[in-house]
Amino acid sequence: MPKRRGFDVEFDNDAELLLAELEFTDDDTKTDIQLKYKILDCYQARLNQRQMRKDFVIDNDLINLRKVAYHI
């Protein structure tokens, strides 16, 4: 559903695997917490890249493959 900005396969489709088992606990040291926040920052960067690519495809009307192939 590209008009809704939803695609079957997203760019970096496995990005969520970074967070699959990420968990903050009371036993975390300050270093553990900093590392986990860094992982969240990396995940956010991947989501930003994904959004940028979605916007590019939609803004340049590259959704309709037949139309794109015709112009090549």
Residue 25 Ramachandran class (φ > 0 left, ψ -120 to 50 alpha, else beta): beta
Residue 27's pLDDT is what?
97
Residue 5's pLDDT is what?
61
Residue 52's pLDDT is what?
92
For residue 56, give the H/E element and its range: helix 30-59
End-to-end CA distance of the chain: 24
Residue 30's pLDDT is what?
98
Mark the ranges of the chain whose per-residue pLDDT is less than 50. Answer: none
Residue 28's pLDDT is what?
97
Residue 49's pLDDT is what?
94
Spatial CB neighbours of 19, under 8 Å, sequence gap ≥ 6: 39, 40, 43
Residue 32's pLDDT is what?
97
Q: Maximum distance among all alpha carbons in the chain?
A: 59
